[in-house]
Amino acid sequence: MHFKKLLFSLSLFVCFFQILPAFAQDGNIETGKPELIQFSGVIVTGDSLKPVPYVNIIIKNSFRGTVSDFHGYFSFVAQELDTIIYSAIGFETSAYVIPDSLTTNRYSLIKIMITDTIELPETFIYPWPTRDQFKQAFLNLKIPDDDLEKAKKNLALADMRERFRSTGMDGSMNYTNFMQEQTNKLYYAGQYPPTNLLNPIAWVKFIRAWKNGELKIEK
């Protein structure tokens, strides 16, 4: 009889320890409050309420946490009185403490992130590694001509004469020459056209061009 009572007591003891973890998962047996909660929410900006994606969310002094998705949503398991740290590039790092007055195992919020302006130190960029190289390059610098010097070079008589000799006729000049030839043919139609062989003015122009070296044999 005593053996049966002892066996029954052991069975109740084993059943109690099998049921205890289930109570521990749902909440605290003494207070009736949940120990583990599903903590979720949405992270938005403070000025435009747009979602902030890829925010680092971590429980302080631990390696547990998560990252918000593209729409700023997050969800993970935490405990009451856990300090949640939010950090993202371009925003101020902030913290939030989960309250200990929860009555359910789910808790959600809308987290507002404040934009942060980062001031970088002043940076100087030099095209030369040393001051000596800069001095040498500065002394050997060729200053480009201004508009007046360019105009003087373009209007130089020798350059203009050379350009005139090397530049061929354009469309307008070719048209004028062709029409002049057609007019001469019509004017001297039915007779011999005159020649400049005995023209004294043509001989003066020929001799002057010969003396000036303007006669060239085109190859």
Residue 183 lies in a domain: no
Q: How far is CA 106 from CA 33, 42, 98, in A?
A: 11, 14, 11
Residue 72 and residue 52 in contact, taking contact as beta carbons nearer than 8 Å = yes
What is the CATH number for 61?
Answer: 2.60.40.1120
Of 102, 120, 138, the domain-final residue:
120
CA atoms of 186 and 81, how far apart (whole Å)? 112
CA atoms of 38 and 66, how far apart (whole Å)? 12
Residue 1 corresponds to which tokens in the numbers above? 């009889």
The pLDDT assigned to 15 comes to: 42
Residue 210 and residue 217 in contact, taking contact as beta carbons nearer than 8 Å = no
The pLDDT assigned to 219 comes to: 57
Residues 9 and 61 in one domain: no
Residue 74 lies in a domain: yes
Q: Around Cβ 84, how many Cβ atoms within 10 Å?
A: 21
β-strand partners of 42: 73, 110
Residues 45 and 110 in one domain: yes
Residue 186 lies in a domain: no
Q: Within 13 Å and on the Cβ side, how many CA atoms surround 120?
A: 4
Count how many domains the chain has.
2
**Total length of the chain:** 219
Residue 191 lies in a domain: no
The pTM is what?
A: 0.43
Of 88, 120, 152, the domain-final residue:
120
CA atoms of 106 and 98, how far apart (whole Å)? 11
Residue 159 lies in a domain: no
Residues 52 and 114 in one domain: yes
Residues 76 and 6 in one domain: no
Instruction: Give residue for tokens 């030839």.
Output: 181
CA atoms of 4 and 114, how far apart (whole Å)? 69
Residue 70 lies in a domain: yes
Between CA 28 and CA 37, with CA 34 as vertex, the angle to 5 degrees is: 145
Residue 35 and residue 79 in contact, taking contact as beta carbons nearer than 8 Å = yes
Of 99, 120, 141, the domain-final residue:
120
Please list the pLDDT of the chain residue by residue as tens digits (219 residues). Answer: 444 444 445 444 434 334 334 334 444 445 455 578 999 999 999 888 899 999 999 999 988 999 999 999 999 999 999 999 999 988 999 999 999 888 889 999 999 999 988 788 888 887 878 888 888 888 888 888 888 888 887 777 777 777 777 777 788 888 888 898 888 888 888 887 777 777 788 888 888 888 887 776 665
- Name every residue whose Cβ is closer than 8 Å to that of residue 44 and which is 6 or more positions away in sequence: 50, 51, 52, 72, 110, 111, 112, 113
Residues 27 and 39 in one domain: no
Residue 51 lies in a domain: yes
Identify the domain containing residue 11 by its residue range: 1-32
Residue 100 corresponds to which tokens in the numbers above? 């200990």
Chain CA centroid to CA 92, Å: 24
β-strand partners of 41: 74, 109
Residue 20 lies in a domain: yes
Q: pLDDT by residue (tens digit) across 12-47?
A: 443 433 433 433 444 444 545 557 899 999 999 988
CA atoms of 52 and 72, how far apart (whole Å)? 5
